[in-house]
Structure 1
Amino acid sequence: MEFPVQVALARPVPTLPTGPGWWYEIKPDGHRTVMWRTADAVRLQSRSGQDVTASWTDLALAGMDLPRGVVLDGQAVVAVDGRFSLEAAQSHTASAPPGVGAATQAHPARFLVWDVLALPGTDMRDHPYEERRLAMLEVLEGLPSPSRIRAVPASDDPDVAQAWYDSLQDAGVECVVAKQAASTYQAGCSSSWRKIQHTQTFDAEVLGYTGPAQRPRALAVRLPDGRAVLSQTLATPLAGQVGACVATPRGCAYGRTDAGETYTVTMPGLVVEVLAETVRHTGFTVTRLR
């Protein structure tokens, strides 16, 4: 398995699937992260494949306790006052390495794991979910206690899953994910993984930005209906995170949204999450970098 890996994604659905063979997990608000324990270090990647080790040095240090060759998939989270906070996680990733230390002291990060992609010498992606789950728990049981690396709760009881969905939104739980027990780990979106979330979002390709490249003020994106539109002003932590990933072509090129706003064109491939209900208004909300 080579770094980075393309992650598996859950398909949004309006209600939880039920019936034989379904397992359910919570997905706390935070940043999708894959943790690689290499021969001599730990590397962390984002959902989009970016190396984010420098932003989560505290988690990388905790990952040194894993056996060499283990690759884990999960969520990097930061809790504030007992609630998973996306804003705190974004502040963590937007900090330069010295700032990461300060952020860690104020609100320690944790890595909540829901899958194992590799064990020493073994690619686990073709193994069924139930087998991967057991293998993942065995790996985590071998870590010293307490550890920043923990398993997300899982259950095969749909009533428990519905109770999670109904009661944990205020605790910062983004959604509940349902996975078929026999499902393998498939890159991209698959019908064998489904999610029901409180706030509907979609992914949009970034076309460009306004303001300085290092800290854009707003983003121009292509919506699913084909429109090119400009976002609302980015939150400060998110602007820093996006700025670290913006790549502009040689020579300064400009584009225009459907409403005529000018933006600086960026290289293709950058994707952000957008709140679905905000696209009907003037300006939409970008919640995170994918």
Structure 2
Amino acid sequence: MANSLHVYDKKRDFTKTKEPKGQVEKGSDERRFVIQRHDATNLHYDFRLEWEGVLLSWAVPKGPSYRTKDKRLAVKVEDHPLSYRNFEGTIPEKEYGGGTVMLFDEGTWEPQEEPTSDSIKMVLHGERLKGKWALVRMKGKDNKDNQWLLLKEKDDYAKEKNDLVDIKTSDRSGLTMEEIAEHKESKVKEESEEGRETQKNQDATEDKKNKEISKTESSNPKAKTIKEKEKKTLPFEEAEVQLAKLVDKVPEGDAWVYELKYDGYRILAFKTGEDVRLMSRNGVDYTEKFQALKSSILDQVEGENFVLDGEVVVLNKHGITDFKALQEYIKHPDDKTLSYMVFDLLALDEEDYREKNLLERKEKLREMLKSAQGPVYYSAHTKEGGNSLFDQACEKAMEGIIAKRMDKPYSGGRGGDWVKIKC
């Protein structure tokens, strides 16, 4: 599965398009994927998988489908740079691929087996695409070498109806294709003569303000110290989430604790004073989409500044997480009640709690959530009876359970300290 960005660069004029230049990068510990809705000559979806420092890419005319009987044609195209996973905007009309590009979904992926030149079986951990999928090269005299099929494999995420086609907004920005195109046009207007003059005036005002601040700080040494102290409210502003490795059996022994597995959106809550940011595991800001939870976090969680890790879910009448209902809420916010199931504490004020072991983190977390009555909840654990908890979860048609090493720090990534067992 050799890859190169030579073809990618050759097809583009980077003096005209804002697409990133081709550069092979060092890959991350977790392989990322992105799906981009691309309205070029024909509307299609670009399916991209991180592999050896680039994004392997396929154009899928009809887009991905959750129905196992749907076999989607996927045409292999040139490899793209990893930075392309952040591209959302408009490619100039006369340039290669001219049209609007939307970030439809993003996340990480795991190979189910070693990928080959004819087959890639994977598990997707996206915001919209989850579970087992496969890319299989088509064979036969009439098939070209670049023709593949994108298939949904049978698992709990497979559906009879493909509701992915109903999603018309960006997973990252929340904008429609039309709004992305309009956003591009508005930026062009800002760069007009009038816009440049306005910007020039703003820059002059900002320079004057900065000079006054510098003058104040130099005349009063304490001012700078106070300013730095005010800004340092958390030890970090972003974090790599800890992920669970899929295993077949519930691990046993005194080193493990067990929790229920929730089917929702993994969200980190960053609180500084009266401000709350809700960020996905991929760094996407969900604060506006989950605005209903912001006030609850401010009211129910004790602490001035902290970082929480949990899952945003919608619970059905039986108290079971309903992922489809959550997706509907994101598309059309309604009277569905969001819940935030909090299971870890990453920071409190200026202290980085990730260095502490799990039980220390959860003990402090439970103390901070002692007044929480919902929709913010403390996710409890048990130190024994992992198999029993797993059986109960499966009987109630839940996703499964998570087993965690109680003596380990929060290291981020998909190591072996957290494992998941699915029903």
TM-score of the pair, normalised by structure 1: 0.61
Of the three residues 228, 237, 248, the one matched with 1:3 is: 237
Q: How far has the Cα of 1:90 moved from its partner? A: 1.3
Name the CA distance, whole Å, in 1 between partners of 2:240 and 2:338: 23
CA contact (8 A) 1:28 1:172 kept: no
Q: Deviations over 1:175-227 (max 9, x none)?
A: 211111111001111111111112xxxxxxxxxxxxxxxxxxxxxxxxxxxxx
Residue in 2 that maps onto 1:182: 407
Structure 2 residue 383 is the aligned partner of structure 1 residue 147:
no
> Residue 46 of structure 1: CA displacement?
0.9
1:84–1:171: 8 Å Cα contact kept in structure 2? no
**Superposed counterparts of 1:77-116, under 5 Å:** 77-82=313-318, 83-95=320-332, 100=333, 103=334, 105=335, 107-116=336-345
Cα distance change on mapping 1:176 and 1:90 into 2, 3 Å: same
Question: Distance between the aligned counterparts of 1:36 and 1:124, measured in 2?
Answer: 14
Aligned to 2:364: 135
Q: Which amino acid aligns with 1:5?
A: A
Structure 2 partner of 1:285? none
For 2:369, the aligned partner's letter is L
Task: Name the aligned partner's letter for residue 14 of structure 1.
Answer: D
> Shift in Å at residue 117 of structure 1?
0.5
Look up the match of 1:49. Answer: 283
| Residues 152-183 of structure 1 deviation map (CA, whole Å, 9 limit, x = unaligned) | 120011x2x22222222364532211111111
State the Cα deviation string for residues 83-114 of structure 1 (Å, max 9, x = none). 3100011122233xxxx3xx2x2x21110111
Give yes or no for the alignment of 1:192 onto 2:417: yes
- Cα distance in 2 for partners of 1:15, 1:148 equals 32
- Given that 2:260 and 2:393 are in contact with CA atoms closer than 8 Å, whether structure 1 keeps it comes out as no
CA distance in 1, matches of 2:344, 2:237: 17
- The amino acid that maps onto 2:411 is Q
For 1:172 and 1:134, locate their aligned partners in 2 and report how far apart those are by CA, in whole Å. 29
User: Which residue among 269, 293, 301 is the counterpart of 1:35?
Assistant: 269
Rg comparison, structure with higher value: 2
In the TM superposition, what are the counterparts of 1:105-254 in structure 2 within 5 Å?
105=335, 107-143=336-372, 146-157=373-384, 159=385, 161-169=386-394, 171=396, 173-198=398-423
AA of the residue aligned to 2:352: D
Distance in 1 separating the partners of 2:272 and 2:353: 16
Structure-2 separation of matches of 1:35 and 1:128: 20
Residue 151 of structure 1: CA displacement? 1.2
Aligned residues: 186
- The superposition leaves residues 51-73 of structure 1 with CA deviations (integer Å, 9 ceiling, x where unpaired) of 11111111112111232211110
The gaps in structure 1 that reach 5 residues or longer are: 199-290
Q: 2:296 aligns with which of 46, 54, 62?
A: 62
Q: Is the 8 A contact 2:260 2:401 kept in 1?
A: yes
- With the length of structure 2 as denominator, give the TM-score of the two structures: 0.42
Task: Say which structure is richer in strand.
Answer: 1
Question: Once the two structures are aligned, what percentage of the paired residues are identical?
Answer: 28
CA change 1:54–1:172 in 2 (3 A) is farther
Secondary structure, counterpart of 2:377 in structure 1: strand
Give the Cα–Cα distance (whole angstroms) in 2 for the partners of residues 17 and 194 of structure 1.
8
Structure 1 residues 56 and 172: alpha-carbon distance in aligned structure 2, compared to 1, 3 A threshold: farther
- Check whether the contact 1:85–1:172 (CA below 8 A) recurs between aligned residues: no
Give the structure, 1 or 2, with the largest relative contact order (CA under 8 Å, sep 6 or more): 1
SS at match of 1:15: coil
The aligned amino acid for 2:341 is: L
